[in-house]
Amino acid sequence: MVNIVIFGKPGAGKGTQAEFLKSKYNLIHISTGDLFRYHIINKTSLGLKVTSILENGDLVPDKLTIEILENEVNKYKKTSGFIFDGFPRTINQAKKLDEFLNSLSTQINFTIALEAEDEILLHRLLKRGETSGRSDDINKEKILNRFREYNYKTLPLKEFYSKQNKFFSINGVGDIKVISQRLISIIENT
C-alpha cells in the first residue's frame, strides 16, 4: 500500500496532481475540501457545522476533520493506497493520521509539497473563482486569510515529516505534465 500526502497552499494544484496520481498508481483520492463541500451542498449535519468556518477562510476543527476522514478511509477495505489532499493541515492532524493508519497496519510513505509564490496562487484562485462557484475563491481577503492559516498551521508539517524522512518539495509552477513528472520522480526514485 502506498499512501501519499500532497499539500501546498490553496491553488497550488493539489487536486489536479492528486487526480493524476490516483490514475497512475490506482489510489483512492481523499480530498477533505471536496468532502466538506459535499456535506455543505447536501446540507448534512457536518455541512451545517462547517459552512461558516469555511466561508471565513478558517480551517475546520481537527475533531470534525478527522472524523470525516476516518469515515471515508473506512469505506475502502481493499485498495492500493490513498492520496490525502488537504489533510493533514496541522501537526495534531498528522499525529492522528499516523495513529489511525497504524491501526490499519499501514503508514504515510511520502508527503509532497507543491510550492508556488503567493501572487501566482492568488491569480490562479481568483481565476478559478470565476468559474468554480466556490465562494472561498472569489474574495481576495479570504484567499489571503487561507494563505495565513496555511503558513501558521500547515507549514510546520514540513519539519514534522522531514524528521521522518518522508517530506519532499517540488516546484508547483509550470506545465501540468512537467509537474506530474516531478511527482513520479519522487515516488519511483525514493
116-143 pLDDT, tens digit per residue, is 999 999 999 999 999 987 777 898 998 9
The mean pLDDT value for 26-50 works out to: 88
Selection from 162, 189, 187, 144 nearest residue 17 by Cα: 187
Residue 42 forms part of a structural domain: yes
> What is d(CA 105, CA 60) in angstroms, rounded to the nearest whole number?
27
Q: What is the pTM of this model?
A: 0.87
Which CATH number does the domain housing residue 54 bear?
3.40.50.300
Number of domains in the chain: 1
**Range of the structural domain that residue 127 is part of:** 2-177
